[in-house]
Amino acid sequence: MELIVEIVIAFFLVVSGIFGFTGSYGLIKLGDPMSRLHAPTKATTLGVGGLLLAAMASIYVFYEHVSLHELLITLFLFLAAPVTAHFIAKSHIHRHENAEDLPDPGDDPDWAVLHHDPEDVHRPSHGPED
Amino acid sequence: MILTYAIYFNFACFGAALLMTLAKVVSAQDIGDRILALDTMVINVIALLVLYGLMAGTAVYFEASMIIAMLGFVSTVAYARFILRGNIIE
């Protein structure tokens, strides 16, 4: 019984390690900035999720109490990753894309990230790449 | 026994991942890439902390990794927002 539990936990650990490695390798390997956004925010988050599942299982089996901290961290990371990716994508559009190259925004008059309001003093104008 | 080797394997994976993100932070061409690399670095550090807690058999490191997760998220959003708006809290 002990051996089976150890094998299951070890399986979770190995899979999460491969996912975490793949995520960071994609960060340095992929060519396009928006492709690079794809690898760490999904693969690494999944890797940490698997690792935390393994930690939960091992605490439950070897120390015989249920620990919910790991679940909290997993939940937080899974909520935080899309928000992070969205913000980085927005900053990429803001700095590197022109309104003519982007797809049609549909019902809206223009892309909110590229919208320049003269009365908004906090907003820097969309200058050339630097 | 098998668990020990799995933990070592996972340490190696996330350690290599941390080194790759560090190289990316140093060599990134654009500020967006650098933010992304720093965010990935935070996630890898969380993984290493949880793994160390798993190996040492204590629950102390989970609180630490929770705090690092929150701070990493807030700092990433603040950094991206600074680029977008030139200001963090308006």
Does the residue A118 lie in any domain?
Answer: no
Of A123 and B67, the one with more pLDDT = B67
Chain A residue with CA closest to B45: the answer is A48
C-alpha distances in Å from residue A59, one per residue of A46, B3, B5: 20, 13, 18
Taking an 8 Å cut-off on Cβ atoms, the answer to whether B62 and A23 are in contact is no
pLDDT digits (tens), chain A, 130 positions: 788 989 999 999 999 999 999 999 999 988 888 888 888 889 999 999 999 999 888 888 888 888 788 888 899 999 999 999 999 988 888 888 777 778 887 887 777 777 766 665 555 555 554 4
Q: A86-121: buried (b, 16+ CB within 10 Å) or exposed (e) per residue? A: ebbbbbbbbbeeeeeeeeeeeeeeebebeeeeeeee
Residues of chain A with Cβ-Cβ distance to B28 below 8 Å are none
Query: What residue type is B53 in one-letter code?
Result: G
Among B32, B46, B90, beta carbon nearest to A33: B32
Residues of A in contact with B65 (CB under 8 A): 73
Within a 10 A sphere around the Cβ of A27, how many other Cβ atoms? 29
Residue A130: what pLDDT?
Answer: 46
- Which residues from chain A sit within 8 angstroms of residue B8, using beta carbons? none
Minimal C-alpha gap between B66 and chain A (Å): 6
Print the domain residue range for A78. Answer: 2-96
> Rounded CA gap, B53 and B51, in Å?
5
This complex has an ipTM of 0.88
Q: What is the mean pLDDT of chain B?
A: 90
Number of domains in chain A: 1
Residue A120 lies in a domain: no
The domains found in chain B, sorted by start residue, are 2-85 (1.10.287)
Q: Nearest-CA distance from B42 to chain A in Å? A: 11
- Identify whether A25 is part of a domain: yes
User: Which among B9, B16, B76 has CB closest to A14?
Assistant: B9
Nearest-CA distance A29 → chain B (Å): 10
Per 3-state DSSP, chain A is made up of helix, strand and coil in percentages (nearest 5) of 65, 0, 35
B23-58 residue pLDDT tens: 999 998 888 899 999 999 999 999 999 999 888 888
Whether A71 maps to a domain, the answer reads yes
Is residue A67 assigned to a domain?
A: yes
